[in-house]
Every structure is written in structure tokens, then in C-alpha cells.
Structure 1
Amino acid sequence: MLTTKTMSAELLKTPRHVEGEILSIKDVSRGFDKTQEELLVLDGVNLTLHEGEIVGMLGRSGSGKSTLLRIIAGLIEPTSGAVSYLGKPVDGPADGIAMVFQTFALFPWLTVLQNVEAGLEALGVGAQKRRERALAAIDLIGLDGFENAYPRELSGGMRQRVGFARALVVDPTLLLMDEPFSALDVLTAENLRTDLLDLWTQGKMPIKSVMIVTHNIEEAVFMCDRIVVLSSNPGRVIAEIEVPFAHPRNRLDPAFRRLVDEIYAKMTARQSDEATRKGIELGSPLPQVSTNLMAGLIETLAAAPYDGRADMPEIARTLQLEVDDLFPVAEVLQLLAFADVREGDIFLTPPARVFAELDTQERKMMFADHLLRHVPLAARIKKVLNERPGHRAPRVRFEQELEDFLSDSGAKETLDAVINWGRYGEIFSYNDKTELFSLEDVES
């Protein structure tokens, strides 16, 4: 008679006799029409995955990481280029590719066992076999004893384990993971990462290759054998980095820290001064970064022990920020000439050091001056309001201008960012009900 542990080995380690290349991505682009041009999300991406490796995809928002993952999974089609899995074109959801999402995406009315069985039921697996394989997956992922629990009874980490069990139960060759740990607290995420790596290194899972999308650079270095770095707007492969460390890995090892620093440097490589100044004119939306976050980072960097300069991996760990949290703040401070980012380090400029010592009203005046000098959209709104007799202008005027070179969502995001910064600097007012800009705060 099979024990549950034996079932895990027998039912979830079906040999696939796969050798060499698992996945091939050739010149994949993905875009959408905007007026007479196509705005690209991905542009000419080339990538291969081989048996026995975990590959991480790093990139900021707008790099198309999740879009690429869905193209690989067969959920959406590329505009051009080709994806092949085990030598065959991917033209829809492929047998042997499973995905774990950032959100748990469980059926709340089903138990753990029923949630894990759902995929097998859709594949037409018989009830007895379905139950055996689901129980084996539940045991393997560490949820034995919770088979009859409902999602509402589980912690976030346990719900994500259900997601992993549901992916593993279909016996995949390739496992795709879209930021699977980002919704979890730090300790839970670390525990789940370690457990997953233990199963991988001990050969207890059926998968032959893993691709993980992440915003967390340390997570990528901790888990992956190779890291692909994507640029943003559009997403292009700008670096492929081999991770030479054996598992288990020590985050405090100097070589580990150096590699993290190297990746930060690649991802913060500064554009030309002209490109930084133009910002949205390059077709990239401005991130919505609050002035509180900007001021908080300036104050932190101005104080000891940083004294105006910090290693970005170190400041990220100290403030518990990930790439998509820290980079936008640093980027906007650089755009506003309050900071400089070079080779993975962030430096405060002399004006930022002054800013840190000012009171609230003086800060607002200084911020307004930098906003008008360094963000063309803010200066344009101010100029239009000054020139109009009633000193008012509709939001749609500026949004339509932005939509000539940004997506609808990008135009909205950019304008919302500048509205918030302009309000803080008191260079103009905006009424959300009437969608009107004005030089004075008016109700209608």
C-alpha cells in the first residue's frame, strides 16, 4: 500500500525524457495600435530556457514581464515573433506549462482539495486518480491536514501554497511564476521560497524548468541560475546574468552582495541628461510618486549614516522597498535634480541637502521651482493657465496631447502625477469634479 509520501514521489515525478531546450522565444514583440502608430510593450525579445534551470525576469513596471509570461503560457499572442515549447509552436495554452499567479486566485467556495483537483477535472482525469494526485501535491507542498479547509480559513502563505499545489498537480514540465511571493509578508515569503527551492534541488517536483517574474533583485539572485533584465517602454533584453552560486545560498556572502549591486547598477544605468529632462517625451509615463515619499527619502539620505549617499540595495533593505517601490522615487528625484543615480548608488544633490533643512512652506516653494524647470508638462500647464483670460483649462486638453505618444493609461498616470506635484508646489489648482485646472482653488 502506498503511503502519502510515496504517492508524492510516484505520482508527481513522472519522467518526461526532456533534454536540452525547453522553451525558445525568438524576436517576440507585442504592441497595440495608438493613432497611426503601434506602441510596443515588448520589442524583439530573444530568450531560451533549458532543462534544470530557474530563470528570473527582472524589470521595472512597463518592461512587459507579465505580458511575456502570458505569451509563453499561450494566454495571449505576440504581435510578431515566435514561441516554441519542446520544439512545437505555442499557439494556445500548452500541455505541460503551468502558472502560479501573484494573486492566489482560488475558488472561495471550494476546499483546498477541491481547488487542487479543479485543473485535473478540467483535463478529464478520473475521480480516483484525481484525488490521489491532488493529495500527493498537497502533501508535497506542505499542506497535509488542510485538505478540507476553505481559502478563508488559510493565511496568505498557505493560500499561495495551494496555488503551487494546483500548478504541480498537472505534472508540468515548465513552471511559470508571476511574482508569486510579492503579496506575502517578508517572513512568509522567505519560508515559501526556501521550501520551494528545497523541493527543486532535491528533485521532488516534476518540473524541468522554472521562469519567475520578480521585482525583487535579491530574490532573483537567491533563487535563479540566470537572470534576464528587461528595459521599460518597450521591454527589451538589456542583460543576461549568470548566477554562479550553488544552493543553498548565503545572502550575506560578499560575492552574493556584489552581484546584487551589479544588477542594481544595470537597472539604474542613467539615461543621458537630455533624455532624463524630457521624461515623458520619450514615450514613458511619469510614475505617480507622492511628495511625502520624495521628502522622506531625501531626509533619510541626508541624515547619518548616509550623509547624502547610499548604496541602493542597502537602502532598499533598510526601508523594505523593492525595485518598483524604490526606483520610481529615485527616478523622480533625479528628474527634479534632487538626486543622482550612478552605478547602483544614489546621491543627493546640493539643492536636496538644502531641501532637507527647510520648513514646510520653504520646501513647497523650492519644489515648485524644480518642478517648473525640470518637468515640461508642469511648465506647459502653468503657461497655458497664465495665457488664458480666465486662467482655466480643461484636463482633456493636456490629456489628448499626451495621448499622441503615450497609451491612454500612461497619459492618465502622467497627468495625475503632475497634478499631485503641482498641487503640492501650489503652482496650480485642479478640481476633480469639473476636471478643470486653474491658478486659484475654485469649487466650480
Structure 2
Amino acid sequence: MNMIQASHVNKTFMSDKGEELTVLKDMSLSLHEGEIVAILGRSGAGKSTFLRTLAGLVPPTSGSVSYRGKELHGPNPGVAMVFQTFALMPWLTVESNVELGLQARGINRKDRRSAALQAIDSIGLDGFESAYPKELSGGMRQRVGIARALVLEPDALFMDEPFSALDVLTAENLRQEVLNLWSNGEGKLRSILIVTHNIEEAVQMADRVVVLGSHPGHVIANVDVELPRPRDKHAPEFEDMVDTLYAILTGKGSETGARTAHSWNPISGIRQMTAESPNSRMLPDATPGGLAGLLEIVDGYPDGIDLADLASALSFEVDDLFPLLDAGTLLGMLDVKEGHVTVTEVGHRWNDADILNSKVVFADIAMSHVPLVRAIDRSLRQSKNGSLHGDMIVDLLRSKEPEDVARKQFHIAVEWGRYGELFDYDADDDMLTLDEAAL
């Protein structure tokens, strides 16, 4: 039975400069009774915004969200939330924090105390009722957050990256606690919806994984996880499912980094910036040094390596690994197919070069594959004195992108150009100049 239904949800925000930013685009999702669903995606996919929209905390710009057949026009009465940052009141005890929601509902002191103590006991915090948050570890604070949600006896428990702020062992222990509470069938809890960027966590916990693409957030896949519980992370079936999700995020997901190039107004020597490929991509937030380290590791596997194994070996999350993979594929150094990554001939050429030649090779690759780096280089060469104000480049980018995105793209391009000794940048004077090596 459909419990929560999102239909063609779009969400836009207005920036301080009056720019309209689309965060969610045509998002639809059904949450059924008796299932755990994970929303998986990279940074910028709007996962948390979508979760809050389903919870009725953020109204959609268009489309609708309904709870048990009734469209929401405010907070969802069937949902309780658990947050990544715990969101506890530091001046209240554990018991008082857990009672907050009940107090807001007007429950009398005796009944809310009884319900709070039961919830505290069920999550393994018996004996800490009178403790304050500052006395608790991160894992225990999150237990308080879970108890505070469960005491409301919600139909659905919404969890926004609830384990990402915890150490590996604590996070694993708490995942199992939540799964045990779910399997025990205590209370009125019917469904769990968890936002995560951890692929193994999604496979471990969920019956279904909804994969989002980025910029703006949109659904790219809906994958059933038909594995018996408890799930063994080392079982071939588990690893196959992890590989499948990696393949989706790097295959269909690669389109999430794609953007149309901007038709900028030609100004002085910047005319070359209008002539770039119509399929140029946003620059991933990755450093040349980080990319060099990744290539060196992948190059150690002649036949390449599965992304799940690579992430495990590096102890990387999706948001750590994917920018490097995106940079490697954008520069033609890595080939990623079906969740498997190999070093290309171009990648070998850069990886095998010595320190001095590696910069020359990188400069050649960046000029061939990165329109923004190429445009800055050409504009500098066409300027009268080989220099330009950085803000002029940022302003051109900002004509089509929000300011924070424009500045981020500019600084990534500068970092790549400086590494390849194409140009230099003086942040104090905001001045771009051709590098002496380039001259």
C-alpha cells in the first residue's frame, strides 16, 4: 500500500542575487508500507531537500506530496526525522530531549515520561536518562535522536545520513540496532526512508534503492535489493549489488556532471570562450595531486579494479571517490565501465612521466579536454600584456551559473592550469598571468 507519494516534484530556490536555482526536477517516488528505502546519490543530488519535501518541511515549487492519499500542505503527520547532526538540545537531559516531540503534542508529563523511558530502553540507553548530550559519545547522541523519533510512534522513520558523522565501528553497530528494531516490529513503525551516499550502507539496509543524479536532482534508477536478511557484506550477491549501484552512478550518473557550455558575450580577447564544445562538462572538485595518487593505485591492477574494491581499499565514500573518477574520465586518463575502472593510454603516459615531464603532459591533456582551461590560456595570450583579472572570468561564468558554482569552477581551472604551468594566479591582486614556462 502506498503510504507516501511524491508526484513530479520540482523545487527551485532564489539566490541572494535573484537567480533561480533548480534543486529537484520531476521527482516521483512511492514509499510503501513494510519496506526500507534508501535514497542514494552524490553531493548536489538534492537528497536532503527531497527528504524534507517528503516530510512536508519544504514545500515543492510544483508537483505534489501526499500522505495516505491526502496532499500535504505542511509537516507530514506520519513522519519522524533523525538528522546527521543529532540536533539535540544541549541544555536538556537525554530524557527531556526524547520527550520534546511528545511535549509539543500536549502529552501529560506522566505519559510522556513513561513513553520516553521505554524508547530510551529500546535503543540501548537505559541508565543515561539524566545525562546531558555533552557527556555522550557521538553514537550515543544519535541513539537519543533515534529514540526521540521512535517515541512519536511514526508510520515512517526518515533518516538523513544518520551514520555519516560516526566512526566506522559505531556506525556499523548502530545500523544493526536500527535493523533489529525494524525486524522486531516494535511500535507502529511501517517504513524507513534513509538518505545516504554510502553504497554498501544502502545495500545492507534497504529493500529498494532510489538512485539520484545531480544538478538538478532527478531519479536515474529504482533498484530492488532482493537479498535475504541478515546480509553478508562478503557474499557474492551483496558485492554484485554494490557493483551494480556503482555502475549506475558512474554510467547513467556520469550525465549528472554534464552541462551545456555557455555562449558568453565576446569581450576583447575572450572571444575564444564562445567557441567551445556544446557538451563541455563542469570541472570535478579534484586536485591533480589526488588524481595522480588514484592513477598510481589503479595502475597497480593491470586488468583494472572494481570501484567497490577500490573504495574499500581507500576507505573512501562516494563523495570522496567520484570527483577523482570524474576528473580522470574527463581528462581521458581513466575508463569506467560497469563499475570497473582501468587506466587508459593517456593515463599511463601521465602516470609514467617524471616530475618535470608530468606537468607538460598534464598541460597538454588539460588543453585538449578542458574548455575552461583552454579558454583562459587563449584569452591570456590574446591580452595586451598577458594578464587578466580573475573576476572577469568569474563574471562570465556567473552570467549562467550561481556565484558559488562560478567561483568554484574558476578556482578548479586555476589549480589545474597552475599545475600544468600554463598560467599563474595572484589571489591578492586577483590577477591571472601566463606562466613563464608557457611563454
Match of 1:46 in 2: 28
Query: Quick one: which of 331, 334, 341 aligns to 2:336?
Result: 341
Pairwise CA distance, 1:271: 8.2
Pairwise CA distance, 1:361: 2.4
Pairwise CA distance, 1:206: 2.9
When structure 1 is superposed on structure 2, of 155-164 and 110-119 the one drifting more is 110-119
1-side partners of 2:410 and 2:39: how far apart?
A: 29
Q: Please tell me whether the aligned partners of residues 280 and 371 of structure 2 are also in contact (alpha carbons under 8 angstroms).
A: no
Pairwise CA distance, 1:125: 2.0
When structure 1 is superposed on structure 2, of 429-438 and 340-349 the one drifting more is 429-438
Mark the CA change 1:337 to 1:382 in structure 2 (over 3 Å): closer, same or farther.
Answer: same
Counterpart of 2:190, as a letter, is K
Match of 2:270 in 1: none
Tell me, yes or no, if structure 1 residue 371 matches structure 2 residue 366. yes
Pairwise CA distance, 1:283: 8.9
| Aligned positions of 1:109-258 closer than 5 A | 109-258=91-240
Match of 1:355 in 2: 350
Pairwise CA distance, 1:33: 5.3
Counterpart of 1:286, as a letter, is L
Pairwise CA distance, 1:205: 4.1
Pairwise CA distance, 1:39: 4.0
Counterpart of 2:335, as a letter, is D
Pairwise CA distance, 1:122: 2.3
Match of 2:414 in 1: 419
1-side partners of 2:366 and 2:280: how far apart?
A: 19
Q: Please tell me whether the aligned partners of residues 176 and 212 of structure 1 are also in contact (alpha carbons under 8 angstroms).
A: yes
Tell me, yes or no, if structure 1 residue 30 matches structure 2 residue 25. no
Per-residue CA shift, 1:103-129, capped at 9, x if unaligned? 122222222122212222222222222
2-side partners of 1:426 and 1:283: how far apart?
A: 22
Mark the CA change 1:374 to 1:189 in structure 2 (over 3 Å): closer, same or farther.
Answer: same
Q: Please tell me whether the aligned partners of residues 279 and 286 of structure 1 are also in contact (alpha carbons under 8 angstroms).
A: no
Q: Please tell me whether the aligned partners of residues 27 and 218 of structure 2 are also in contact (alpha carbons under 8 angstroms).
A: yes
Counterpart of 1:327, as a letter, is F
Match of 2:274 in 1: none
Q: Please tell me whether the aligned partners of residues 285 and 411 of structure 1 are also in contact (alpha carbons under 8 angstroms).
A: no
Q: Secondary structure, in 3 states, of the residue corresponding to 1:265?
A: helix
Counterpart of 1:25, as a letter, is A
When structure 1 is superposed on structure 2, of 125-134 and 225-234 the one drifting more is 125-134
Match of 1:10 in 2: none
Per-residue CA shift, 1:175-209, capped at 9, x if unaligned? 11111111111111111001110110111243211
Mark the CA change 1:228 to 1:314 in structure 2 (over 3 Å): closer, same or farther.
Answer: same
1-side partners of 2:35 and 2:219: how far apart?
A: 18
Per-residue CA shift, 1:227-251, capped at 9, x if unaligned? 1111112222121111111211111
Pairwise CA distance, 1:132: 1.5
Q: CA RMSD in A?
A: 2.3
Match of 2:292 in 1: 295
2-side partners of 1:128 and 1:428: how far apart?
A: 70
Tell me, yes or no, if structure 1 residue 312 matches structure 2 residue 307. yes
Counterpart of 1:28, as a letter, is V
Per-residue CA shift, 1:337-361, capped at 9, x if unaligned? 1111111111111122232233322
1-side partners of 2:163 and 2:155: how far apart?
A: 21
1-side partners of 2:354 and 2:247: how far apart?
A: 34
1-side partners of 2:114 and 2:279: how far apart?
A: 55
- Relative to the length of structure 1, the TM-score reads 0.89
Q: Please tell me whether the aligned partners of residues 9 and 26 of structure 2 are also in contact (alpha carbons under 8 angstroms).
A: yes
Pairwise CA distance, 1:270: 6.1
Pairwise CA distance, 1:284: 6.4
Query: Quick one: which of 69, 77, 83 aligns to 1:95?
Result: 77
Match of 1:394 in 2: 389
Equivalenced residues, count: 419
Mark the CA change 1:126 to 1:335 in structure 2 (over 3 Å): closer, same or farther.
Answer: same
2-side partners of 1:350 and 1:163: how far apart?
A: 50
2-side partners of 1:262 and 1:162: how far apart?
A: 34
- Relative to the length of structure 2, the TM-score reads 0.90
* Runs of 5+ consecutive residues of structure 1 not aligned to the other structure: 1-19
When structure 1 is superposed on structure 2, of 402-411 and 155-164 the one drifting more is 402-411
1-side partners of 2:70 and 2:243: how far apart?
A: 38
Mark the CA change 1:173 to 1:406 in structure 2 (over 3 Å): closer, same or farther.
Answer: same
1-side partners of 2:38 and 2:254: how far apart?
A: 28
Q: Please tell me whether the aligned partners of residues 285 and 406 of structure 1 are also in contact (alpha carbons under 8 angstroms).
A: no
Q: Please tell me whether the aligned partners of residues 220 and 252 of structure 2 are also in contact (alpha carbons under 8 angstroms).
A: no
2-side partners of 1:382 and 1:114: how far apart?
A: 61
1-side partners of 2:216 and 2:259: how far apart?
A: 19
Mark the CA change 1:336 to 1:121 in structure 2 (over 3 Å): closer, same or farther.
Answer: same
Q: Please tell me whether the aligned partners of residues 178 and 214 of structure 1 are also in contact (alpha carbons under 8 angstroms).
A: yes
* Runs of 5+ consecutive residues of structure 2 not aligned to the other structure: 263-277
2-side partners of 1:271 and 1:70: how far apart?
A: 23
Mark the CA change 1:368 to 1:271 in structure 2 (over 3 Å): closer, same or farther.
Answer: farther
